[in-house]
Structure 1
Amino acid sequence: MDYRETVHLPKTDFPMRAALSEREPAQVKAWEDEKVYEKLLAKNAAAEKFVFHDGPPYANGPIHQGHFLNKILKDLVVKYHLMAGRLGDFVPGWDCHGLPIERQVDKQLGAKKRELSVGEFRRACRKYAEEQIDLQRKDFKRLGILARWDHPYKTMDFRYEADIVRELSQFARRGALYRRKRPVHWCPVDVTALAEAEVEYADKTSPSIYVRFPVTAGGPQGWGLAIWTTTPWTIPANLAITANPELEYVAYDLPRHGVTVVARDLLHAFLADCAPDELAQPSEARGDDLLSAARATGATLRHPERIRRTLQGTELDGWKYRHPLVAREGPVIMGAHATADAGTGLVHTAPGHGEDDFNMGVQYGLPIWAPVDGHGRFTGDVAIAGLEGLKVFDANPKVIELLAGAGVLLNAGGRAAQIRHSYPHCWRCKNPVIFRATDQWWIGLDIEIDLPGRGHTTIRKAALAAIDEIDAQGGWIPAWGN
């Protein structure tokens, strides 16, 4: 019996073989030729709008897995709203400004770059960005993403740039735009400031040193203040030492150096690094957990009588000290960021080379000073023989040598220790960055100005109010989005 006549199989237009590599481009072309996306938009033109803002990819290089995930998820959301009857308009965009494009154009031009004017170089960058947009757009289409590919927004469009200038002028007219020297993450290789989002953290080996600053006023003559740092190159720019008013400090008579002030809770860890013979059981203060060791009992001190005095942090306020490498005095100031987590509880403060340092400098009216140029080299302003022209990381050994020669390097054996720690690096070139004060333009979030529809308020308060308004209208999805 022939059973073929009794088997009823469904009929389908799908071919037996997928042949995706051939059918996928044909399908994408068919969607384009039939203007499927445009028809969907026209069909829902009068419907409720679903407003979608596309955070743009960078116009440099082929798309990668991050682009795949980003754009496909966006495409799913927009298509869902289109099929639900809403007007989901997907306007793709590209970020066309910045160093990565300039560096690629640099490579392409080679020595020829020196022959170009600034305008010609910018046109070359614009041409390169357009080429990269065309390549990425082609690949995004191959992913089956429906969007206004023929009418994207590009940050290098003259209209777009003009709109940015207009909006910036609104901040300027209202007094919220200002220029001020402030330390920023600075890449001495790319010679540019970096935003927080452009900084990556990686392990780096740095020198670890303790330095004694001699007291000149406010406290007993002959005493000194001990600081700890992993950036010796910033010592020339020191303008203050920060103590914590809530901490308790001790004045310890350190052999070969004299009475030196450190935080009480850090005394044992300090001695382990600088005078291990002063500990009856030094092994207790040399383990991996230095913080636990630092809080060991006073019984580990071989000579507890060397503690000459106990002081509250507030007693140090206003003391003066002498800089060990240059002829100037600095004040002891009060700040909560001086903690007993590590070091000495006294923080070397260079307002031009750190965020906390800058904030303390502004609070106490100190100069925001950084004697380092854009390439990370000491300028003549440093006024210390042998440092001008040196790159800051290369200058570390020289600074340590000068400190040792001045008799203020406290490390045991007179040599810097080495420490492995997490340190900021440039996301582009992967090199370590520095904190360096430069003149930058800022928009003040906390400056009171007149804002349309908000009255006399600050940008921060207006933004927070807008967030609360969205909550009142039904909230964020997900809820933690606010």
Structure 2
Amino acid sequence: MEETIPTQKSKIAEREEQILKFWQEREAFKKSLEKKSPKGEFVFYDGPPFATGSPHYGHILAGTIKDVIPRFKTMQGFHVPRRWGWDCHGLPVENEVEKELGFQSKKDIVDYGTEKFNALAKESVMRYADDWRRVIPRMGRWVDMVNDYKTMDSAYTESVWFVFKTLFDKGLVYEGFKPMHLCPRCETTLSNFEVTQGYKEVTDTAVYVRFALQGEPNTFLVAWTTTPWTLPGNVALAVNPEKDYAFIEITASNAPLFKMGDIYVCGVKEDILKRIFSEEGGAFEFDPDSRSGIFSWKGERVSFVARQGVSGKTLVGRPYLPLFDYYTKPQMRADSDRRMFADERTQEMSASLERGWRVYGGDFVTEEDGTGIVHIAPAFGEDDYALAELEKLPFIQHVGSDGAFRPEARDFTGLQAKPKGNPRETDERIAALLETRGLLLKKESVTHSYPFCWRCETPLLNFAAPSWFVRVTDLREKLVEENKKVRWIPKEAGEYRFGNWLAEARDWAISRSRFWGAPIPVWRCERCRALRVLGSFDELRARSGTRFTTFIFLRHGESVKNIRHIFDDSPTAFPLTRAGKREAKAAAEQIRKMGGVDAVFASPVRRARESAELLAAPFGKTAKIDERLREVDSGEWDGKREDDLAAVESRARYDALPPMDHYRAKRGENGESWEDVERRMGEFLREALTKHSGERVLVVSHEGPIVYLLKALNRLTLKETNRYFRRERFEEYAKPIVVHVDLKTGAALDPHRPFIDEVRISCDACARETGTGVELMRRVPEVFDCWFESGAMPYAKAHYPFEHDDAFDPIGGWFRKLQ
């Protein structure tokens, strides 16, 4: 039956809209925040959504719950601010853009260009923002969507830098090289939490491989692995020193693979012997008393005896022949090392060829699976890497971060280690080659849980890679204790699921080798390798010569004009009120805490001029009057009150104009347009940049002119510019707005790649040692994991500590937020 679509709204919908209209006309939400709150503050944090898609049922359900709690707490007598935010960075956004462009790999982005790619990512983030701004209020939720924050905003990023540097200064951040899970398609590592999002039950290929002991003819060590693709990276075998091992001698055989007199070394238990020597459906018999038995192999009968066992420690140190010779010769290693090694430790490991391809002891070796002997590939496993560090083993990474085999692995060059379409394909090819060489005992299918990228569903690789880490292990006990103070609903979620996770929490890999994200603020010297961590954009300005100039834009203090609501651009009328003078003095103190100023400029209009004089005095400066900073000329409206009937109709027609016409139209018939204002403010800025490059400059002007200068500096659209007039920063007078302007672009500092990558700073260590250190330091290429940015939300949304320096405990609260 054909579905009929209702043509009229239901009575319920109509009633809801009436209620919404009632709330809006009476500013109910705003008044609920302004009312007395005898019980103080109730802090409510709401994880910001991505606006790369329209809101759906899941958002609406969660949003309803998030609306009920603040309303309830407000009724109880608490003050509960709710500010909307947008999650803008990270691989989810990048993946969407890649799909639109038809990209298949990270290389496609590099070829396309980071600047163009990130521009598309920025545009895509807010593509559905208007849908959200329509749906969220329509569902009756009270939240401030005008004064919203975005994690891609420069101010937000600066606070993230501050949090990172604070952790670094406390010794809680380090650069490490560890095995982590890597997505070869995204070419970046994932955090432990992200890895847990993508496990699937899969069937993989496992192999039993024999390694020939050197100096002992026809004697083989047997190892088992579920990752045959790692075998070309094998550098050692591990046994448990405290376990017993048997020498299995073939006493009779009709099977070509097993020759009489061959000896196989493996764990002594019967279960292990059965795993190795039994085929599916084939015979296997073993007499524990005589330690002898038989098995069938491809239809042929084989007899064996388990000779006297030895402890694992007696096997330690014995050399064996590598399965592959790709990296066994010094020149081969030297050529590959230049591509593979990221730090001094792995370089040292790579130099120890003589320590490779031997048996080593490891208490991580068990007998529950496999043969009791473990194949060691340091680049692809946590235990493997730890053993390699301990024993100074060679480090072989025959697979690149793109998941493809390197040229040295000539039999498999270019193959994906775990192809997305057929994850077993490469494993099967390696098994086939080993079989032709007589090194494969058998292969089997195993079903197990395997991690996939939760974004693109590519099989992950356990892959040793450089990353920046937060020392969560140093804070683990404190985190566990803090979690006990949290009231969880249900209780079991916090006590068991989250509590157990915290008790075992590992150091957090917070960096990603990607493009669209907040850059990690670490610069490394190309000469001495010293590091410099920056915690603010002003530090960047101070250390980058004359590249950046810091402008502090400030609307004048309250004046008589503002109280009377009069249009005015005259130079002598309307002085500051007492409140306006207090505001200007308070702003001067705030600017002093920021580091002061080198120059002060002001509009010739009295209220701005008086504000500038009060602001300049504490710094021993004289305010320079510049005609280009004046208030907008409102033509026939000037001198009239805002509610003057003679101006109301004209203003109504003006406000109703389409955005571009509104931008270009003359105010009050014969006044200035905002386009005119932007042009003259831009002229002032370009001149000030030339004369005061690398300095801190205070500019005292008016709301409209500042807004349109910010439009030019931040490359805002007219729609975005109009929203500035409604932001909370302009509800207050004399509130400093800091913008760091890039002399190279003439625009506000963009901390994203590739712009931030171009900024070099000086090395103090080299300057002391050699007398020269200018521009020797380059930024490390990584960006932050977007989860780190989300964790910084309590501070970053308030631009702490740069605008609100007394509101938060920056470390304790940060980790509580991560819960």
TM-score by length of structure 1 reads 0.78
Identity %: 30
Change (3 A) 1:245 1:168: same
Question: How far apart, CA to CA, are the structure 1 residues paired with 2:202 and 2:401?
Answer: 22
Q: Write the mapping of 1:18-417 to structure 2, written as runs, cut at 5 A.
A: 19-108=11-100, 117-199=113-195, 200-216=198-214, 222-254=218-250, 256=258, 258-265=262-269, 266-273=272-279, 276-279=282-285, 301-302=293-294, 306-326=305-325, 327=328, 329-380=356-407, 383-393=408-418, 394-411=425-442, 416-417=443-444
Distance 1:182 1:50, change over 3 A: same
Q: What is the CA deviation profile of residues 310-335 of structure 1, one whole-angstrom value per residue up to 9, with x for unaligned ones?
A: 12333333333221222474232333
Aligned partners of 1:212 and 1:408 also within 8 Å: yes
Supply the distance in 2 between the matched residues of 1:408 and 1:119 (Cα, whole angstroms).
50
* Structure 1 residue 160: Cα displacement: 0.9
Name the counterpart of 1:286: none
AA at the equivalent of 1:435: N
Answer whether contact 1:271 1:279 (CA < 8 A) is retained.
Answer: no
CA shift digits 1:360-405 (9 cap, x unpaired): 333333345422123211112xx34322222223432332233123
Distance 1:355 1:46 in 2: 54
The code of the aligned residue for 1:386 comes to D
Contact 2:291 2:307 in 1 (8 A): no
- Specify whether residues 66 and 346 from structure 1 end up closer, same or farther in structure 2 by C-alpha distance, changes over 3 A only: farther
- Counterpart code for 1:272: S
TM-score (norm 2): 0.48
CA distance, structure 1, for counterparts of residue 100 and residue 213 of structure 2: 58
More displaced, 437-446 or 236-245? 437-446
The aligned counterpart of 2:447 is 420
Q: Secondary structure at the match of 2:54?
A: coil
| Cα distance in structure 2, aligned partners of 1:120 and 1:401 | 44
What's the CA shift string for 1:409-444, capped at 9, x where partnerless?
111xxxx33333322111122222222222222223
Q: Secondary structure at the match of 1:152?
A: strand
One-letter amino acid matched to 2:438 = G
Question: How many Å separate the matches in 2 of 1:420 and 1:36?
Answer: 58
SS at match of 1:60: coil
Change (3 A) 1:107 1:207: closer
In the alignment, structure 1 residue 441 sits paired with structure 2 residue 465: no
1:137 deviates by 3.9
Quickly say closer, same or farther: Cα 1:59–1:359, change in 2 above 3 A: farther
Return the letter of the residue paired with 2:386: N
Contact 1:182 1:368 in 2 (8 A): no
The structural deviation recorded for 1:176 is 3.8
Cα deviation for residue 307 of structure 1 reads 0.2
Give the letter for the 1:86 counterpart.
F
In structure 2, the CA distance between the partners of 1:302 and 1:116, relative to structure 1 (3 Å rule), is closer
What displacement does 1:97 show?
Answer: 0.6
Aligned length: 429
The amino acid that maps onto 1:58 is: F
Q: Which moved more, 1:112-121 or 1:18-27?
A: 112-121
Amino acid in structure 1 at the alignment position of 2:368: D
> Is the Cα contact below 8 Å between 2:37 and 2:77 reproduced in 1?
no
Instruction: Look up the equivalent residue of 2:309 and give its one-letter code.
Output: T
Higher radius of gyration, 1 or 2: 2
Work out whether residues 369 and 437 of structure 1, in 8 Å CA contact, stay in contact via their aligned partners in 2. Answer: no
- In structure 2, do the counterparts of structure 1 residues 126 and 297 end up closer, same or farther at CA, with 3 Å as the change threshold? farther
In structure 2, the partner of 1:10 is none
- How far apart, in 1, do the equivalents of 2:277 and 2:73 lie? 67
CA distance 1:313–1:299, change in 2 (3 Å): closer
Paired residue for 1:284? none
Map of 1:4 onto structure 2: none
Q: Distance in 2 between matches of 1:59 and 1:348?
A: 46
- Aligned 8 A contact 1:351 1:361 in 2: yes
> Secondary structure at the residue paired with 1:88?
coil
- Is the contact between residue 353 and residue 436 of structure 1 (CA under 8 Å) also seen in structure 2? yes
Unaligned runs of 5+ in 2: 1-8, 296-302, 329-352, 419-424, 500-819
Alpha-carbon distance change, 408 to 106 in structure 1, aligned in 2, over 3 angstroms: closer
SS at match of 1:185: strand
**Residue deviations 1:144-187 (CA, integer Å, cap 9, x gap):** 22222222332112111111112212333444433333222222
Matches of 1:173 and 1:364, distance apart in 2: 32
Call closer, same or farther: CA 1:432–1:236 in 2, change over 3 Å.
same
2-structure distance, mates of 1:300, 1:44:
88
- SS where residue 211 of structure 1 aligns? strand
Cα gap change, 1:135/1:362 in structure 2, threshold over 3 Å: closer, same or farther? farther
Q: Which runs of 5+ in 1 are unaligned?
A: 1-16, 282-295, 447-457
Cα distance in 2 for residues equivalent to 1:45 and 1:124? 44
Amino acid in the other structure paired with 1:313: G
Are the aligned partners of 1:59 and 1:132 in contact in 2 as well (CA < 8 Å)? yes
Q: What is the DSSP-based 3-state SS (H/G/I as helix, E as strand, rest coil) of the residue aligned with 2:42?
A: strand
- Please tell me whether the aligned partners of residues 325 and 403 of structure 1 are also in contact (alpha carbons under 8 angstroms): no
Whole-angstrom distance in 2 between the partners of 1:298 and 1:308: 10
- Alpha carbons of structure 1 residues 223 and 430: separation in structure 2 relative to 1, 3 Å: same
Who is 1:291 aligned against? none
Deviation string 1:28-54 (CA, Å, 9 cap, x unpaired) is 343233222222221244532211222
CA 1:373–1:305 in 2, change beyond 3 Å: closer, same or farther?
closer
Secondary structure of the residue that 2:449 maps to in structure 1? strand
CA 1:115–1:267 in structure 2 vs 1: closer, same or farther (change >3 Å)? Answer: closer
RMSD: 3.3
* SS, match of residue 268 in structure 1: helix
Residue 195 (structure 1) shift:
2.4
Q: Which moved more, 1:159-168 or 1:200-209?
A: 200-209
Structure 1 position 349, deviation (Å): 1.6
SS of residue in 2 equivalent to 1:442: strand
Task: Report the Cα distance in structure 2 between the residues aligned to 1:466 and 1:101, rounded to whole angstroms.
Answer: 33
- Describe the shift of the 1:21–1:367 C-alpha distance in structure 2 as closer, same or farther (beyond 3 A): farther
| Structure with higher RCO (Cα < 8 A, 6+ apart) | 1
Contact 1:325 1:402 in 2 (8 A): no
Paired amino acid for 1:88:
V
